[in-house]
Amino acid sequence: MTTSKPSTRDTILDAAETVVGRDGSRRLTIDAVAAEACVSKGGVLYHFPNKIALLKGMVERMMADISQDFANCEAAAHAAGEPPLVHVFNAMFDRHDERKALSMALLAASAEHPDLLDPARDFMSSTFQRLSEDTPDPVGARLLLLAMDGLKLSTLLGFDTIPENQLTQIRDRLVRLTHELYQ
């Protein structure tokens, strides 16, 4: 089986994620990305004319990945006749530490450029709305989604280190409460 070579744009975004994850958003420069991607500075500038465009590209790609994960969860839930929210919670837990450094760096970069997170805000708002309305108890669903969101942010920022056994208990409780929304 042959695999296709990633596009230059994806190679650049991969390199940018590597730089940000390793060195932080302040060290993200066109030169650093070009060196990491093994492409010319002009090649980077062709796809991303400045650092902000590069950061936006990173956020957009991250949100596209998350959006695809959620769409897969919802499709699997509907096919199995199960509540979509249960599948979404499991996917969010499964993404627990994935790309944590990148998420932190993008969050830091958004302090200077709040509009960087607009795609994330739009996605989460529409997703929370859709998932909430898909339950018999939209307020309860919204409450559970906010709890999950708070857990994710707290973990990301290192505010509360939760032992693995408690994380499993929290996951199980959220799933159980979600099932109760549909009874």
Q: Which tens digit of pLDDT belongs to each residue from 114-155?
A: 888 888 889 889 988 988 888 899 999 999 999 888 888 887
- For the chain, the residue count is 183
Name 172's Cβ contacts closer than 8 Å, sequence gap at least 6: none
Provide the pLDDT confidence category of residue 61 given band limits of 50, 70 and 90.
confident
Distance from C-alpha of 99 to C-alpha of 61, rounded to nearest angstrom: 12
The 10s digit of each residue's pLDDT in 27-39 is 889 999 999 999 9
The 10s digit of each residue's pLDDT in 147-183 is 888 888 887 777 767 887 888 898 889 889 988 988 8
For residue 48, pLDDT beyond 60: yes
Average pLDDT along the chain: 86
The confidence score (pLDDT) of residue 155 equals: 78
Q: Token pair for residue 59?
A: 């956020």
The fraction of the chain above a pLDDT of 90, given in percent, is 29
Cα separations (Å) of 144 from 40, 53, 90, 148, 180?
Answer: 47, 34, 13, 6, 11
For residue 42, pLDDT beyond 90: yes
Provide the pLDDT confidence category of residue 10 given band limits of 50, 70 and 90.
very high
The confidence score (pLDDT) of residue 15 equals: 94
The confidence score (pLDDT) of residue 32 equals: 96
Distance from C-alpha of 22 to C-alpha of 97, rounded to nearest angstrom: 15
Whole-model pTM: value is 0.80
Nearest to 107 by CA among 126, 97, 120, 123: 120
Nearest to 105 by CA among 39, 54, 45: 54
The 10s digit of each residue's pLDDT in 65-120 is 888 988 999 899 989 988 888 888 888 877 656 567 677 777 777 777 888 888 88
**How many alpha carbons fall within 13 Å on the CB side of residue 73?**
21
The confidence score (pLDDT) of residue 1 equals: 52
